[in-house]
């Protein structure tokens, strides 16, 4: 187990180098001169040359990349072209909102997804199953930015139960929780649908296994069969989907933050792309991608704990 974790961490280091290389080179080949952007429309040729020299933009690509990685591991991701604020500071301020949203959506997705999938499997072919399957299909097909808009229309505009957007209060206050409800449902619905589909098929598979039949024949109570014999074994593929979906949710926060005007990393990224603020794009993409691979690593480790038969070569 420890050997596996060490090996996966070593692979992670290489992967992170790969990600940083891809992100850095993407911005390097992007059209437009960063020095001209920083200098602004009034900058002269000599001003732009001075900025280029100052930022080391005349250095060879690999030198610039090595400098970027060297600074990045010390938490320095450069400065925004737009605001001249350090990228790390801008991300640090906004990251808690993104994380809060991703975790809240994951909680919504896991609770709704597993319960729906379980009910669907345990009452196969009943109206409950049909409703749950329809929900799952609809959940996958609904654009989350549209769902967000509709939820705002119903719960904020018409019923006035929940705020239209923003995320300024701590999550442990009533106001903070109210702010989280709609964005979490908006973002979590798609993942809930995927988890429900997987939970249903995984439960149906396990429920027909020989050892479950044996347990039933031995007179084990149905509740114990479900909770002890079935659920743990059915959880392996479900955890895979949950893990993969956390990455999906991290990506999804970008859109949900825009719908609900939440000041998070996703919105920062969209604004940075629109303004071609490359250091900001680099920093935020790098952060989200790093989190994504870390979550995947965590999922891999959890697998081996839940199912010790799994061994990675």
Partner 1 sequence: MTAAETVKLKEKKKEKYWVATVKKLFRNKLAIIGLVIVMIQIVMAVFAPLMTSYDPVKQDLVNSEMPLFSEGHWLGTDNYGRDVWTRIVFGARISLVVGITAVSLGLLGGIVLGLLAGYYRRLDAVIMRIVDLLFSFPGILLAMLIIAILGTSLVNVAIAISIWSVPTCARIVRGSVLSIKEKEYIMAMRSMGASDLRIMVRHILPNASAPIIVFATMRMATAILSTASLSYLGLGAQPPTPEWGAMISQGQDFMWSSPHLTIVPGIAIMLTVFAFNVLGDGLRDALDPNMDI
Residues at the site binding partner 1, with contacts judged by CB under 8 A: 15, 18-19, 22-23, 26-27, 29-31, 137-138, 140-146, 149-150, 152-153, 157, 247-248, 250-252, 254-255, 258, 269-270, 272-274, 276, 278, 281, 285, 288-289, 292-293
Identity of the residue, 225 or 239, whose beta carbon is nearer to partner 1 in the bound complex: 239
User: What is the biggest distance separating any 2 CA atoms in the chain, rounded to whole angstroms?
Assistant: 87
Residue 86 phi, psi dihedral angles, 5° rounding: -60, 135
CB atoms within 10 A of CB 313: 3
Identity of the residue, 15 or 231, whose beta carbon is nearer to partner 1 in the bound complex: 15
Q: Supply the minimum distance, in Å, between the C-beta of residue 11 and partner 1.
A: 9
Query: CA–CA separation, 57 vs 188, rounded Å?
Result: 42
DSSP 235: H
Identity of the residue, 26 or 173, whose beta carbon is nearer to partner 1 in the bound complex: 26
Q: Supply the minimum distance, in Å, between the C-beta of residue 49 and partner 1.
A: 25
Query: Would you call 86 helix, strand, or coil by DSSP?
Result: strand
Identity of the residue, 19 or 220, whose beta carbon is nearer to partner 1 in the bound complex: 19
Q: Supply the minimum distance, in Å, between the C-beta of residue 292 and partner 1.
A: 6
H/E element, 200: helix 174-207
Query: CA–CA separation, 204 vs 199, rounded Å?
Result: 8
Identity of the residue, 186 or 225, whose beta carbon is nearer to partner 1 in the bound complex: 186
CA distances to 15, 88, 228, 298 from 207, rounded to whole Å, are 38, 49, 12, 27
Q: Supply the minimum distance, in Å, between the C-beta of residue 28 and partner 1.
A: 9
Q: Supply the minimum distance, in Å, between the C-beta of residue 58 and partner 1.
A: 21
Q: Supply the minimum distance, in Å, between the C-beta of residue 227 and partner 1.
A: 29
Closest by CA to 236, choosing from 205, 210, 213, is 205
Identity of the residue, 23 or 184, whose beta carbon is nearer to partner 1 in the bound complex: 23
């Amino acid at each position: 187990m420890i050997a596996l974790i060490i090996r996966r961490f070593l692979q992670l280091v290489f992967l992170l180098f790969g990600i940083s290389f891809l992100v850095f080179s993407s911005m390097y080949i992007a059209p437009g001169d960063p020095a001209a952007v920083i200098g602004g429309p009034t900058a002269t040729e000599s001003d732009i040359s001075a900025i280029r020299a100052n930022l080391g933009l005349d250095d060879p690509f690999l030198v610039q990349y090595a400098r970027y990685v060297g600074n990045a591991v010390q938490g320095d991701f450069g400065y925004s072209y737009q605001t001249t604020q350090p990228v790390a500071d801008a991300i640090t301020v906004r990251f808690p909102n993104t994380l809060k949203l991703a975790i809240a959506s994951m909680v919504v997705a896991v609770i709704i997804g597993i319960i729906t999938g379980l009910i669907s499997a345990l009452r196969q072919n009943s109206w409950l199953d049909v409703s749950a399957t329809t929900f799952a299909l609809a959940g996958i097909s609904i654009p989350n930015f549209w769902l967000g808009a509709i939820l705002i229309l119903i719960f904020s505009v018409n019923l006035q139960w929940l705020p239209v957007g923003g995320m300024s209060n701590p999550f442990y206050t009533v106001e903070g929780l109210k702010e989280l409800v709609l964005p979490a449902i908006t973002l979590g619905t798609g993942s809930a649908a995927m988890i429900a589909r997987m939970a249903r098929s995984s439960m149906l598979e396990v429920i027909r296994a020989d050892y479950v039949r044996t347990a039933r024949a031995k007179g084990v109570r149905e509740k114990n069969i479900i909770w002890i014999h079935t659920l743990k074994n059915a959880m392996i593929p479900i955890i895979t989907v949950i893990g993969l979906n956390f990455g999906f949710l991290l990506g999804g926060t970008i859109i949900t933050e825009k719908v609900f005007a939440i000041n998070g990393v996703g919105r920062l990224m969209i604004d940075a792309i629109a303004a071609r603020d490359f250091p900001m794009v680099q920093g935020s993409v790098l952060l989200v991608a790093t989190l994504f691979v870390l979550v995947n690593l965590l999922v891999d480790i959890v697998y081996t704990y839940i199912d010790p038969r799994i061994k990675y070569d």
